[in-house]
Chain A
Amino acid sequence: MPGMINRQEMPEQPPEIRKHNFEEVALGFDDQTAKIEAERCLNCKNAKCIAGCPVGTNIPLFIDLIKKGRTAEAFREIKKNNRLPGICGRVCPQEEQCEKLCVRNNPKAGGAVSIGALERYAADFAAKNLENGLENDEKFAAFGGDCVKNIGKNKNFLYSDGDSTKNIAQKAETDGKISLADENEKNSVKKRTFKAAVAGAGPAGLTVAGELAANGISVTVFEAFHKAGGVLVYGIPEFRLPKALVQSEIDALKRLGVKIETNVVIGKTLLLEDLSSEFDAVFIGTGAGLPVFLNIAGENLNGVYSANEFLTRVNLMKAYEPDAKTPVFVGKNVAVVGAGNVAMDAARTALRLGANVTVVYRRGREEMPARREEIRHAEEEGINFMFLTAPVEITGGNGRVSGMKCIKMILDAPDERGRRKPVPVPDSELMIECDGVIVALGTSPNPIIKNSTDTVKFNPKGTIVVDETFMTSKDGVYAAGDAVTGAATVILAMGNGKAAARAIIERLNKMK
């Protein structure tokens, strides 16, 4: 029985080495390990893992293809449901989703199948093998190789989605040649090309753009930054998600016909109304907005950053490079306030920039919202943790941070939601010596679109109101991602984006 083999773990850069560089921490499976891990999948008839995936990836099917050594096909299978497999294989919280529901998810069965690592393996395989000269192999291209690298030869062959993919694949196998003109015809929603606008080139927007473009819709994505990618480029650090990978996924979308207009803020440069009048459908995926601060004294001293600003300076503006033009101040001793994934990213980034880092969190280790893997990585790299500690004041001298005054906390009895409220312990003040503070307490919604339109309804908290099809209160305008949910995960934004795209396609089909 294959069940006796334990879950294969991904090799990683050793902590002592990786804490000094920005290269990827997790190194990915080699072919042999991938195969061993794929063999562990029991190919359940009623595969619960699929239900755990926000984009509904057919997990047992793609793992079975890896098992059989048909990794290119495995990649193609993933790509049917997921526009950005290389990214999701890295940043999805699989342990809370697919892997959590895996029947092997208990020590007796050797632990859940490493679904995320296998997804990443398939995506990396596709990228690597195309570089090795497979780009002209049309049969390979039929399985999605075109998404990674331009096959260049056949203009008609762009991308096809859904059920027809199977036919194409079969066709490719039988006659070895592909002409997709007829398939594209079938797939396109209408004779005339519909136009859709997408506000925001982050995970939600890029997913929507890919889905729509694959269905013959002409898509223009508007991005406020000078670079597409949203949180994938400004937020998540290089050592967790290489930017070259993000760029290759974006390039693939461009080859699909997606136009990306950078330097356009919807609500300022163009209004939502401009988009509604020029496009047949509009999607808003503008992400999360203003960082939440502690509202304590000293928070505006120099040396106090929001995690957003710190990470943007380092990731997007490349402040870690010696000749970078955008400066970033990294103290010798940095306190990071908060314990989510963004806090871990900020802490590990500051560490790599030479700081001694302490994460300060008002609850305990068990309550940390970050992924276990991120916490483990941070601990291995030598990040200090101070639990049950809450900042009360940031102290300074000469306008700069000199320390952070904190108070010890104790957890109350669980409330009806099971959450234990931290309460201060009297007379337990303590002082943390630090010259840098990074506040990672989440974000509140961006106000720009809200302030520039009356047609779309917002919740009191500032997120966009949508119905079950992700349509806003304005007909034909859809929204998903953090702009709707508040700060959440990449995969949730993609999952909801995908559902919104389906609704848009359905709507346009009716307009035929």
Chain B
Amino acid sequence: MYKILKKRNLTENAAEYVVHAPLAAKRCMPGQFVILIVEEGGERIPLTIADYDRERGTITLLVQAAGYSTARLAQKKEGDFIKDFLGPLGNATDLTEFRSVLLAAGGIGSAVVLPQAKYLKQNTSVLTDVVLGGRNASFLTYEEELRTFSDRLFVVTDDGSKGEKGFVTDVIKRLVDGGKKYDAVFAVGPMPMMRAVAELTRKYGIKTIVSMNTIMVDGTGMCGGCRLTVGGEIKHACVDGPEFDGHLVNFEEAMNRAAFYRETEKEHLCRLQNEKKE
């Protein structure tokens, strides 16, 4: 059992959890993920590590209540326990070889961008610009943290309720067209957002890394459920990723696969809401 030491609601349906998981915290690096099971009989949910504290033995996760299992997690309070917690999984994202990078976060993708920005700021001299985007102000998370750990932070919302009005890609376009040179872009968010960023940077010829949040079961290279096509080859997000060259990922296929259980998921969520009413 893994104790939730701290919980903080960041948006209406996204909360940050600090979980006591000393083994997973021992060697994890930015870009890696964990798989947790909220309670007996629950699903295995993959979640990217937002932060970690090796001394305290904690891992921080940002979780948006999107389906049944994440909604069950959202019902947990500080001091409650998570049944299973496995990690770190996947490969670390290493941006230290670059001189100047742009990190683009869409929605709770900021949970993946934050540890990257923090690591670069604390351990390297890589110049780091961050673009944080969301549907509206209530979808923005880790704004202050990202401001602290970046050279410049740009905030953008679809409706202009915070920062400038528009999309993440609008900001990237403006920066690059304005003469800013980036060696690499690291884009993390919903798949359509990552695809849009990759399409844009392809035109500029800027290397672009994306983090693929696919459906998974074991997360250790056994089931093949997380497979996606990258450069015409089958890759597994759990052991080959989760980061991939955004210009080579077949996003259309990946988005279709990610939507496979959406109907079932809705049903489960309905049941949970009915339970609550009762």
Contact = CB atoms under 8 A, between A and B. Distances in A.
Interface stretch (A125-133, A304-312, A332-340): A304-312
A313 B224 contact: no
B220 A318 contact: no
B229 interface: yes
A317 B89 contact: no
Contacts of B41: 318, 324-325
27 contacts: A224-B86, A226-B37, A234-B222, A262-B84, A263-B23, A263-B86, A265-B220, A269-B23, A269-B27, A269-B86, A289-B222, A291-B222, A291-B224, A293-B227, A300-B227, A300-B229, A309-B224, A309-B225, A312-B217, A312-B222, A317-B43, A324-B41, A325-B41, A325-B43, A399-B256, A447-B221, A451-B239
The bracket for how many chain A residues form the interface is 35 or more
A325 B68 contact: yes
Interface stretch (B98-106, B115-123, B183-191, B257-265): B257-265
Given A300-B229, A325-B69, A329-B260, A224 B84 contact: no
Given A262-B84, A263-B84, A324-B41, A291 B218 contact: no
Interface of A: 224-226, 234, 262-265, 268-271, 287-291, 293, 295, 299-302, 305-306, 308-309, 312-313, 317-318, 324-327, 329, 399, 446-448, 451
Contacts of A448: 220-221, 239
A327 B85 CA distance: 20
Contacts of A446: 220-222, 239
B268 A325 contact: yes
A224 B218 contact: yes
Main secondary structure of the interface of B (DSSP, over half): mixed
A268 B84 contact: no
B195 interface: no
The bracket for how many chain B residues form the interface is 35 or more
B217 A269 contact: no
Main secondary structure of the interface of A (DSSP, over half): loop
Contacts of B256: 301-302, 399
Interface in B63-82: 68-69
A288 B84 CA distance: 23
A114 to B, nearest CB: 34
B223 interface: yes
A291 B223 contact: yes
Contacts of B42: 325
B268 to A, nearest CB: 7
A399 B24 CA distance: 36
B87 interface: yes
A262 B86 CA distance: 8
Nearest to B265: A327
A62 B88 CA distance: 47
